[in-house]
Each structure stands twice: as structure tokens, then as C-alpha cells.
Amino acid sequence: MVYGQAHSGTGLVKWRVNYRAILSIDRETHMADVLQVEFHCHTRYSKDSLTQIKALLATCRRKGIDRVAITDHNEIEGARLAHQIEPERVIIGEEIMTTRGELLAFYVQEKIPKGLTPEAAIQRLREQGAFISVSHPFDKARSGAWDLADLETIAPLVDAIETFNARCLNNQANLAAQAYARAHHLAGTSGSDAHILMEVGAARQKIPFFNTPAELRQVIWQAQSSQALSPFWVHFASTYAKIYQKAGGTLRSLGGKSPGREDA
């Protein structure tokens, strides 16, 4: 606490300044301007996940995740439902399988169908103003990995590539993506690629506040990443989810109740 006095037209005015209070307010304002962001996760609207939307949002709140991009495979219905519940927290995204590899898009307004050429998918995303990244480009264990020649073709057309994916079985694919991003002056996104709740936030980025894809393009270069690989066995959970969801489809075709389509 600092005290002082000064003269005014009506006499002596005493004043004091509580610098601790000012610093506290400044810290709170600064922290409000920085977001913890999870850029890659799935819900039961992906065929390899059983994660319920409300449970995902509760997990994000518990883990201090301010923004979460829900990027279901070739689908945005779940992300839209989540956005209706928590519009400030949820970014509507999509992981899109093209004829050459997977794209990761944020701020998607209309679903992009799978099976398009990368150029056609990117064009549709650009028309929506979406932010475009490239999913785990060097992870050859995934069906959505990219051949180098194809990646070279789309690199000038995207905003970023995924430079860390927590579901890679080892870190070599992530290191290759980071090297590629540096060499091609591309921004990097990090994500857990969570298909079960325990994975959420395994890879996240601390980024200055943004609320639009245009703002994200500006601040993504300032991102600070916190990253850890998920255990290998999380892939078994996805295998189980595929079987469970397929069983649900069989039940629906027979007129029964799906085991994977309860309330969000």
C-alpha cells in the first residue's frame, strides 16, 4: 500500500494506491486473455467413439479447457449439439477423409462429405471461412496419413498442420510433422485426438484469446503447447466402440434401440 497527498482547489487531498490489488486485477485480466485449447477430439458421432457430449463438456470444464474443437469423422452433428449447450467453449469442427488423407477443420458451418479430393474439400472449407489443418500427416499407422507428394500439393492451401497428435504410437510422426511445419513456414496445431474421456487434454495449446477463424489464424503462431502421448491401449477402446456402434446399427435395422444414440 502506498500513501500520498496533493493540493487541489478545495484543499489537501489524500490518496492511497493498493498496488497488490492492481497487480491482482492485471493478472486476472491477462489470464482471461489466454485460452487453453483442445483442437482434436471425438464423440459418439464418430464410429470409433462412445463419448457422450455432456460428459465431454464436463471433462473440459474439470480439466480447465476453455475451447474444444469437436472433430468427429466426416460429421458435425455432435459438434453442433455441443455448441448449442456451450457456444463459448465449443468449436464446430470435422475430421474429413479425402481421397489422399485426412484434413482437420475448425469453424465448420456445413458438413464436408468424405471421399472428395483434397483440393475440392479445401475449396468447400474456404468458402465457409473455416480454419484448415492436416491430421497426423506422417503417422503411417493411420489410414488418413499423407504421402509426401500429396502433402506438398496442399501445403500452400492450408492454415496449419497437426504437429502433435497424442494418439501416435511413438513420437517420430510428430517430430516429422514439426520439422515439416518449420521448413514450410506452417503453423502447428496440437490435439489429443481423444476418443475416450481420459484422453481429453493430453495435448493442448495455450493461445491468446480468439473467437473467429480469422483471429485464430493471427494468434496460432503464439501457441504454447503442453503435450503427452496417450497409452497405446486407447486404440483398443476405439476398436470396441466400432463393434458396439456396428451392433447398434444392426439393432436399428431390425427396429430395436441403438446402444450408442442416447441423449447427448
pLDDT digits (tens, 9 = 90+) for 74-122: 999 999 999 999 999 999 999 999 999 999 999 999 999 999 999 999 9
Pull the grid cell for residue 9.
Answer: 482547489
Q: Which of 78, 67, 74, 81 has the alpha carbon at shortest distance from 39?
A: 67
pTM for this prediction: 0.84
Distance in angstroms (rounded) separating the CA atoms of residues 39 and 188: 11
Domains in the chain and their CATH numbers?
Answer: 38-250 (3.20.20.140)
pLDDT, position 19: 42
Under DSSP, is residue 77 helix (H, G, I), strand (E, B) or coil? helix
Distance in angstroms (rounded) separating the CA atoms of residues 162 and 181: 9
Are 111 and 161 in contact by the 8 Å Cβ rule? The answer is no
Pull the grid cell for residue 103.
Answer: 484434413
The predicted model gives 210-239 an average pLDDT of 97
Distance in angstroms (rounded) separating the CA atoms of residues 164 and 121: 23
What does each C-alpha distance from 166 to 223, 226, 257 come to in angstroms? 17, 11, 34
Provide the β-strand partners of residue 11.
Answer: 8
Per-residue confidence band for 143, with pLDDT thresholds at 50, 70 and 90: confident
